[in-house]
């Protein structure tokens, strides 16, 4: 799998659906090959169709080219942009894309359980979907110490 140059896929036949009924597209934006690996894993586990979840790496891209490529990929319609960190070039590009219009949301600190939640619930309105994703991402982080009675 390579860095995706395609746009987010949209359903071809939406004649009986309103714009608010269109499934959200996801873009995973990260450093190096992280985004590609996360999208590959989510596709393998959830069986999500290609184009519904797109990988974009910042590797070899300056701030302007990263921003421009992200804006080209997200297109119109509901989009969730997942970034690996809350700061850095990926988060900055996501913030610019968020302000450039459209029904978009940015979620920082992506993890695989969050992407799986997205895959299974991307038909929900962004106002319901995004809090669900954040909660799933947070609740999936635990630590186990060999001397502790319960997870940290």
Question: Is residue 103 a part of any domain in this protein?
Answer: yes
53 pLDDT above the threshold of 80: yes
Structural domain span for residue 90 = 24-136
Checking if the pLDDT of 118 tops 90, the result is: yes
Please check whether residue 115 lies inside any domain of the structure. yes
Q: Is residue 79 part of a domain?
A: yes
For residue 7, pLDDT over 60 is answered with: yes
> Is the Cβ–Cβ distance between 4 and 56 less than 8 Å?
yes
In the block, which residue shows the tokens 């799986």? 116
Q: pLDDT confidence of 15, banded at 50, 70, 90? A: very low
Residue position matching structure tokens 């992407």? 115
| Model confidence at 50: pLDDT above 50 | yes
Whichever domain contains 54, its CATH number is 3.40.50.510
Report the pLDDT averaged over residues 116-133.
97
- Is 123 part of any domain? yes
Helices (H), 28-142: 34-46, 63-74, 89-99, 112-121, 126-139
pLDDT of 108 reads 97
Residue 14, domain member (yes or no): no
| Four-point Cα dihedral 6, 28, 50, 141, nearest 10 | 180
This prediction's pTM:
0.85
**Which of 15-19, 78-82, 147-151 has the lowest average pLDDT?**
15-19
Structural domain tally of the chain?
1
- pLDDT given at position 57: 96
Residue 88 in domain: yes
Q: What is the pLDDT of residue 55?
A: 97
Looking at the predicted structure, is the pLDDT value of residue 29 above 90?
yes
Question: What confidence score (pLDDT) does residue 6 get?
Answer: 59
Instruction: Read off the pLDDT band of 17 (50, 70, 90).
Output: very low
Residue 15 lies in a domain: no
Is the residue at 122 inside a domain?
yes
Q: Contact at 8 Å (CB) between 70 and 29?
A: yes
Question: Which tens digits make up the pLDDT trace of 69-105?
Answer: 998 998 888 999 999 999 999 999 999 988 888 899 9
Phi-psi region of 110 (alpha: psi -120 to 50; beta: other; left: phi over 0): beta
């Amino acid at each position: 799998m390579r860095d995706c140059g395609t746009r987010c896929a949209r359903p071809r036949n939406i004649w009986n659906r309103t714009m608010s009924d269109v499934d959200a597209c996801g873009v995973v934006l990260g450093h190096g090959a992280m985004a590609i690996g996360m999208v590959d894993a989510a596709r393998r586990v959830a069986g999500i169709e290609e184009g519904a979840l797109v990988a974009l790496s910042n590797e070899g891209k300056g701030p302007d080219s990263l921003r421009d490529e992200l804006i080209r990929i997200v297109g119109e319609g509901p989009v969730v942009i997942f970034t690996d960190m809350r700061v850095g070039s990926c988060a900055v590009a996501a913030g610019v894309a968020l302000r450039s219009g459209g029904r978009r949301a940015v979620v920082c600190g992506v993890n695989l359980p969050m992407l799986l939640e997205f895959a299974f619930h991307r038909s929900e309105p962004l106002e319901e979907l995004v809090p669900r994703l954040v909660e799933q991402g947070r609740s999936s982080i635990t630590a186990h110490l060999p001397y502790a009675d319960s997870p940290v």
